[in-house]
Amino acid sequence: MFFEGSEKKLEVVVTLGKGLESLRSLGDEYWSEIVAASQAKILSKMSSASCDAYLLSESSLFVWDDHFTMITCGQTTLVPVVKLFLQSVPLDRVESLIFERKNEYFPHRQTTDFYEDIGHLRQLMPGKAYRFGRAEDHHLFLFHLDRPYSPPKEDVTLEILMYDLQAESARVFSSGQHDSTKICELTSVDKIFSGFQIDDYVFEPCGYSLNALNNEKYYTIHVTPQEASSYVSFETNYDVCQELPQTIQRVIEVFRPGSFDVALFHPERSLPIQVPGFELRSQTSQELKCGYGVTFTHYESPHRPVEGAYEIKEWTSARL
């Protein structure tokens, strides 16, 4: 079964005032329409004093007063979300806009590629676009609004993008085997950090999503356990810079990937990251004009013996 776990992400910061008191007060119906523009839908909502966290049919949306973060996978597309959002909040109210897109397992099945996406975004705003990582290897595309911005000091985002899960780890997240309670018991995904409230969802026939919220801090996990394209993303705005290797290690141990990427957004500097037990294969660092330092690092397990070829038993003769 084909499912694209690799995600696109949109992060937008706005200036409040002039009739816009809070993005949260735009309401569930507004955000449902925003989500629908990406071809996903809202499954559930959890709120803290500072944030509304929506679990989506394809990943997650977090809305704070003055910014939102939308992460979507599958065949969703975020350029229509930008267009729709700018109809209610004009571009001059946007302080920062960052659009990311991870390299995909099944890129041909996407409705657009990144080059098309940024072609459309450039018609809406001035922007700069980058590729972190080599084109023929793991990489992350990034587009940002070309406008000076000074992120708050504590504005750190950590993304851990995991591939090639060990069969045993993948099996835990295949529905029919375990419900949400059992998954949390077996993996402690609900306790990556302490003091967070949890909203999670077990998908049919397989897959798992989790939103975790502690006032303005979140973490979120999305699991695609399918053997042909196994993928897990972990993301948080919890400031983990003091214990970055430990945090990465903790997440890696839950999912046991064969390889993974780390993207770190830091308002001041890009950090070098070493992860015990894995080889750092490549590292890309860039200071962006929109105020963030971004480091993208690709790791592989060093223990990779000669393998047999993977026999493909799925195909389609449908025109995609």
Q: Are 185 and 285 in contact (CB under 8 A)?
A: no
The residues facing 144 across adjacent strands are 98, 128
273 binds its own copies (CB under 8 A): no
Could you say whether residue 76 binds its own copies (CB under 8 A)?
no
The span of 35-43, 50-58, 121-129, 243-251 binding its own copies (CB under 8 A) equals 121-129
Indicate whether 30 belongs to the interface with its own copies (CB under 8 A). no
Residue 59 a catalytic site member: yes
Q: DSSP assignment of 84-117, as one string?
A: HHHHHS-GGGEEEEEEEEE--SSGGGSS--HHHH
Task: Give the CA count within 13 Å in the CB-facing half-sphere of 86.
Answer: 17
Q: x/- contact string, 235-264, with its own copies (CB under 8 A)? A: -----------------------xx-----
Catalytic residue among 138, 178, 222, 266: 222
Judged by CB under 8 A, the stretch of 18-26, 35-43, 50-58, 128-136 that binds its own copies is 128-136
DSSP 116-131: HHHHHHHHHS-EEEEE
Residues 78-117 interacting with its own copies (rule: CB under 8 A): 103, 105-110, 112-116
DSSP 200-256: EEEPSSS-EEEEEEETTEEEEEEEE--GGG-EEEEEE-S--GGGHHHHHHHHHHHH-
Nearest to residue 235, comparing CAs of 8, 77, 50, 14? 8
Query: Of 14-22, 148-156, 237-245, 305-313, which segment contacts its own copies by CB under 8 A?
Result: 305-313
Nearer to its own copies, 214 or 282 (CB): 282
> 306 burial class (0-12, 13-18, 19+ CB within 10 angstroms)?
exposed
Look up residue 175 and give its DSSP letter: T
Any catalytic annotation for residue 206? no
CB of 319 to its own copies, least distance (A): 7
21: Cβ–Cβ under 8 A, 6 or more apart, which residues?
65
Which two structure tokens, joined as six digits, stand for 68? 């939102």
Query: Of 87, 123, 194, 242, which lies in the binding site for its own copies, with binding defined by CB under 8 A?
Result: 123
| 7 catalytic residue (yes or no) | yes
Q: Is 306 in the site for its own copies (CB under 8 A)?
A: yes
Name the site residues for its own copies (rule: CB under 8 A).
2, 103, 105-110, 112-116, 118-120, 122-123, 128-132, 134-138, 141-142, 163-164, 228-229, 231, 258-259, 272, 281-286, 294, 296, 300, 304, 306-320
Which residues have a catalytic role annotated?
4, 7, 59, 73, 209, 222
